[in-house]
């Protein structure tokens, strides 16, 4: 690759030499496709003719009768309609996959095999293919055939049990956490598999299970039970034995977070409060002591914070090197200068919504950053480009496929 070619590729994105075929729907698989597309991969999304991915209809608010979620999860992708439940549709998918580097799917295990799109068959035509499979319970094991949604994976992976107030039933986060975590791990696995392919020339299967992705976030939960006989429980707004790290009231009637659980940081907090002796008090001197006396220490801090207006309190804490902050809503994010300075929110032109804001591509790379190039496409918007350009079908053939309900 010449220097000019390398610069052009970097401008399109560091993954612009990769072609991804995204199959499946809703969130876990498509979020993996979104992450790859954010960094330049060509993502061809196969959707059912007529309705497409149900994500086109999901979301609470629907201005103009259209989802505000779809433009985000389908950003940077190409939409191609293909009825995978027909032999003709399966043949079209097979031909597109033969020209691809990666396939991402999140059907129930066994579905691709029933359609004749199993990995071994696909690899015969494309030895370097990386097949990324996202599911509730993985591709093997006694639970693999079960239908698996993100909420079930969150429960089985352990996070649901420890989330919420101790006096109430387990809570869930207000987002699709399990699906998103499985997609992030699928993306990591994809990049590892592609890297390995550069050395061996061979593709492989990436198997990302929702419950395992959640389990990977559970810190020392397993050895705590197996070795110490300790079962983590719901603890509301705090983590057991991590203190002080909680929400505290202000004179403005708001709640802010203060996290000063490290010894040196707690000493700074105590000095900021005008109570430097607290850091030497045997009840609070050291991580374990503060953990044992968490409730009492929270009361001391709350009594101090409640007498200071929010803005003044936060500025004082920041000036003294104590981590603290407001609990943000979407409105707060739009008004925050740090979000603006780092371009955390981008705004794109949308045919229905006008200017449409959404979160940017993360993480930031100094030489080859990701980018949001366009919002989610219309259903079948790229049929002619893909079927005509990639598969070399003429307009008559494309029209005939459409009339038969194949695309």
Residue 60: predicted pLDDT: 74
In degrees, to the nearest 5, what angle opens at C-alpha 95 toward C-alphas 89 and 100? 120
Supply the pTM of this predicted model: 0.90
pLDDT of residue 2: 42
pLDDT along the chain (407 residues), means of 10: 49 92 93 97 96 87 82 96 96 97 96 96 96 96 91 94 92 90 98 97 97 96 96 90 94 96 95 96 94 96 97 97 96 96 96 94 95 96 96 94 93
pLDDT for 387: 95
Two structure tokens written together for 382: 């790229």
Inter-residue contact 74 to 30 (CB < 8 Å):
yes
No. of H helices and E strands in the chain?
18, 11
Q: Are strands 77-81 and 42-47 parallel, antiparallel or unpaired?
A: parallel
> Whole-angstrom Cα distance, residue 47 to residue 37?
17
CA distance 295 to 238: 10
Q: Give the pLDDT confidence score for residue 7 in this predicted structure.
A: 52
**CA 370 – CA 43 distance, rounded (Å):** 14
Distances 29 to 23, 66, 158 between C-alpha atoms, Å: 8, 21, 22
- Surface-to-core class of residue 264, CB atoms within 10 Å of its CB (0-12 exposed, 13-18 middle, 19+ buried): exposed
pLDDT for position 26: 87
Place of tokens 């902050």: 325
> What length does the chain have?
407
- Greatest alpha-carbon pair distance for the chain in Å reads 83
| Positions marked active-site | 179
Nearest to 204 by CA among 134, 101, 138, 131: 131
């Amino acid at each position: 690759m010449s220097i000019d070619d390398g610069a052009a590729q970097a401008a399109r994105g560091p993954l612009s030499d990769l072609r991804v075929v995204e199959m499946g729907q809703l969130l876990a698989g498509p979020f993996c496709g979104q992450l790859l597309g954010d960094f330049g991969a060509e993502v061809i999304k196969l959707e059912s003719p007529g309705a497409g991915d149900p994500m086109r209809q999901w979301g609470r608010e629907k201005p103009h009768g259209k989802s505000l979620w779809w433009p985000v999860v389908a950003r940077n992708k190409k939409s191609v309609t293909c009825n995978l439940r027909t032999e003709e549709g399966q043949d079209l998918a097979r031909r597109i996959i033969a020209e691809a580097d990666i396939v991402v799917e999140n059907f129930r295990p066994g579905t691709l095999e029933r359609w004749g799109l199993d990995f071994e068959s696909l690899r015969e035509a494309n030895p370097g293919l990386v097949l990324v499979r996202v599911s509730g319970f993985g591709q093997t094991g006694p639970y693999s055939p079960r239908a698996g949604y993100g909420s079930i994976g969150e429960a089985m992976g352990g996070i649901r049990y420890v989330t919420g107030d101790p006096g109430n039933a387990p809570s869930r986060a207000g987002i699709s956490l399990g699906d998103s975590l499985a997609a992030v791990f699928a993306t990591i696995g994809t990049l590892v598999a592609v890297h390995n392919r550069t050395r061996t020339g061979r593709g492989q299967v990436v198997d990302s299970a929702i419950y395992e992705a959640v389990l990977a976030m559970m810190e020392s939960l397993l050895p705590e039970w197996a070795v110490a006989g300790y079962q983590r429980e719901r603890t509301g707004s705090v983590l057991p034995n991590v203190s002080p790290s909680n929400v505290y009231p202000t004179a403005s009637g708001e709640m802010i977070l203060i996290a000063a659980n490290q010894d040196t940081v707690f000493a700074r907090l105590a000095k900021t409060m005008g109570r430097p002796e607290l850091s030497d008090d045997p009840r609070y001197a050291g991580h374990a002591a503060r953990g044992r006396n968490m409730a009492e220490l929270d009361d001391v801090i709350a009594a101090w914070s409640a007498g200071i207006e929010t803005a003044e309190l936060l500025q004082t804490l920041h000036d003294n090197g104590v981590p603290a902050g407001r609990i943000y809503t979407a409105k707060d994010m739009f008004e925050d200068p740090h979000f603006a300075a780092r371009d955390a929110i981008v705004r794109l032109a949308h045919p229905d919504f006008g200017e449409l804001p959404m979160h940017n591509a993360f993480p930031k790379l100094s030489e080859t950053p990701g980018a949001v190039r366009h919002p989610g496409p219309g259903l079948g918007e790229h049929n002619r480009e893909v079927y005509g350009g990639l598969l070399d079908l003429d307009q008559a053939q494309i029209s005939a496929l459409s009339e038969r309900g194949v695309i």
